[in-house]
Structure formats: structure tokens, C-alpha cells
Amino acid sequence: MSAADFYGLKRLILTQFRNHARLEISPKASAIALIGPNGTGKTNILEAISTLGPNKGMRGADLSEMSRMGDDGGAFAVSGLLGDGGDEHRLGVGHESESNRKITRLDGREIPAKQTLDILRMIWLTPQMDRLFAATQSEKRKFLDRIVVSFMPEVSAQLGAYEKLMRERQKLLEENVRDKVWLKTLEEQAASAAIAIAAARIETLAALQNEILNRPDGEFPKSQLILRGDIEEQVSQGESHIKIESAIAEKLHANRAIDSGAKRAVFGVHKSEFSAIHIPTQMEAQNCSTGEQKALIIGLILAQARLVSLGLNNSENACFKRPNVILLLDEAQAHFDSKRREALARETLALNGQIWLTGTDKYLFEAFDKSGEYYSISPSRAEQINI
């Protein structure tokens, strides 16, 4: 890969992040493997990269937890030089400890964190996600909505608005504040956001399903993705969005007493369910073995990464027009046999983007051969090695 078309982090600097006082890596490859025993800080490096995106990061931790502890610790900072097909951008995040606020800077200028989606899309897989399909519906919805936002960043604002509106409505109901005008306004605005979220989920899953089904059979089994929700069903049936939006608002109005007593809203896009079927066996994903669930998740994430790098062909607004994905795979190859390790290397190297992986042993990465760079990791130290 030449410097002109290199996409990804060309330099990464961690300062006071978790167990790293200062650590610097300057990769020149599209695949970077971080190797070392458990507890050396490999996952911390991936987490630091993930904070360069708009959210807290792949662990969902509070910002204060990421700062290095001890007498010589302090508020963390993460900076990167991001190659973008010939262009370069300096991207950095830091923790303002007094306000517990995340500060994001692009090319020296402070920006809203969500603006990083203009130049960067982050996808990750952690060991905790291996049994995602057996997790709670709340966790599965969050996973689905991260995929949606990776295609359609504008939906992030709708998700945040919907959550805030429903939280404010619930507070009024529980405090018995009967301001009918204000409640009606909140419900109408929540209905508008709900329509946008439902429509985006449907479009995303359709594109993702098509990508999954069209890929050749291989080591990562195909899945049939399933989305169940009253609002998504109405949108799928092609009813007028104005009509559906009005019906949602009316339903929320009718449910005020129920929601007040239940101390939660019992209807809305926050109740939709996401699941999958393991196509080769027609078994529900949640009933598959841990290994097969992990393989299904990796297959789904690889499909997502390919679509992000190519853009959604059926929507100009959703299309991200250049390779822009950074894929973070934490212990992804653990418990995989050699065939699946080879398949993972082959498919990730074919992506338009950059892949960062962790593992405890060099043999896990032999399939990447000379296409990757390899680093032995210890606290505050990354030493490039050969395998």
C-alpha cells in the first residue's frame, strides 16, 4: 500500500491512559497486531483508539476511569495522525477532569465529538460481545444502533433526542406534572425521532442482510437478521410516515397512566428486538455454541466493515464515499482453529481500512505474514517485532 492511498492511523500517542504513562506507535501497515500476556495493556490501546470516535469508547467506561491512576498519573490524552487517501488529519481527545468532559480537536481546532464521523468510522469486537445474541435486548439494540450510525451518522442525533425526550416525559409522568401541552410536545417530538430511527434500522439491516447473503460460503457462517418492533413493522409496510408519526404520538398519550405506574415507557423504538438465525443450521443464534455465536458476530462485523468502506449504494445521504473504517478486534482469534484464523486474515486484509488486533501469542497472527506489523506490548512500551 503506497503512502498516497494509505488509510488509517499513521501515528498514535497515548498519554496517561490506563496503564500507559506514554506510548507511541507509528504504523505503516493496514493490519497491526498487538501481542503480549494478559494485563500488559493491549486492550487499553484499542480502547484509546476507540475514544477518537464520538462516544466514550468500546468499553463504555466513564472518562475518569481511563486516566492513569497513582501519584504520577493524570488526565488522559489520545492523539493520532490519520491518513485519508493522501490527506492527513491530526485528531486528538482529552479528558477535562474538572468538568469530566471529553474534548475533541481536529487539526488543532476544538470540534463537537460527533464531527469525527466526517473522517472516521470505528467498528470493534470485544470478548464481551462473543455471546451478544444471548445478551439482553437492550445490549442487542445498542449494537444494532452502532451499526446504523456507522452508515448514517445523522441518526446519532435522533437517537440522543429520542432518549432525552422519553426520559423527560417519564419524569413528568412520575412527578405527576400534568402539563398537557408540554407532554403533547414531548410525545410529538419523540414520535418524529422514532420514525427516523425505525426507518434507518430497516434500511441498514436490509443492506447488511444483502451483503451477508451475497458473500461466498466460508468459515464465518451466514446469519438471517431479524428486527421486531411495532413501529418498524408499520414503516416496513409502507404506510405514510406522517400517519405513523401521528399514531405513535397518540399511543404515547394513551399510555400515560400505564407508563407512570410502570415507571417506564412500555411502547416505542426502545422496545424493539434484534436477533438472528444461524442459517446453516436454522438455529436461533442465542442457542448456538459460544464458538458459533462468535463466528456469526465476526461475519456480521466484516459485512458491516465492507459496507462502511464502500458506502450504501441506495442512499447518497448515507453513503460515505471513501475508505474510512478502523476495525478493532480484541482477542478475536482466541479459540479459533487455523482455518478460521486464515479466513479472518484474508477477509480483514481485503477491507479498505485499517485493522488493529490483540492476542497473547505470535502464532495467532501467522496468517497475516508480511502484510501486517507486529508489536510486543508492555506498559508504556510497544516494540516492533517479526513473527
Taking Cα atoms as reference points, which of 123, 137, 48, 55 lies closest to residue 298? 123
Q: At 262, list the grid cell.
A: 410502570
Contact 308, 146 (CB under 8 A): no
Neighbouring C-beta atoms of residue 28, cutoff 10 Å: 12
Length of the chain: 387
SS3 sequence of 102-155: EEEEECCEEECHHHHHHCCEEEEECHHHCCHHHCCHHHHHHHHHHHHHHHCCCH
Taking Cα atoms as reference points, which of 371, 357, 374 lies closest to residue 123? 357
Q: Which domains does the chain have, with CATH numbers?
A: 1-120+327-387 (3.40.50.300), 133-323 (1.20.1050.90)
Measured distance CA(335)–CA(2) in Å, rounded: 34
Print pLDDT tens along the chain (387 aa). 444 456 799 999 999 999 999 999 999 999 999 999 999 999 999 999 999 998 889 999 999 899 998 777 789 999 999 987 668 899 999 998 888 899 999 999 999 998 898 888 999 999 999 999 999 999 999 999 999 999 888 999 999 999 999 999 999 999 998 789 999 999 999 999 999 999 999 999 999 999 999 988 999 999 999 999 999 999 999 989 999 999 999 999 999 999 999 999 999 999 999 999 999 999 999 999 998 999 999 999 999 999 888 765 444 444 344 547 899 999 999 889 999 999 999 999 998 889 999 999 999 999 999 999 999 999 999 999 998
- 9 class by beta-carbon count within 10 Å (0-12 exposed, 13-18 middle, 19+ buried): buried
Q: At 237, list the grid cell.
A: 409496510
The angle at the Cα of 170, spanning 167 to 171, to the nearest 5 degrees, equals 85
Q: What SS3 class is residue 50?
A: helix
Measured distance CA(249)–CA(244) in Å, rounded: 9
Q: What SS3 class is residue 17?
A: strand
Taking Cα atoms as reference points, which of 45, 144, 54, 123 lies closest to residue 91? 54
For residue 121, give every residue at least 6 positions away whose Cβ sits within 8 Å of its Cβ, in sequence order, or none: 53, 150, 308, 320, 324, 325, 326
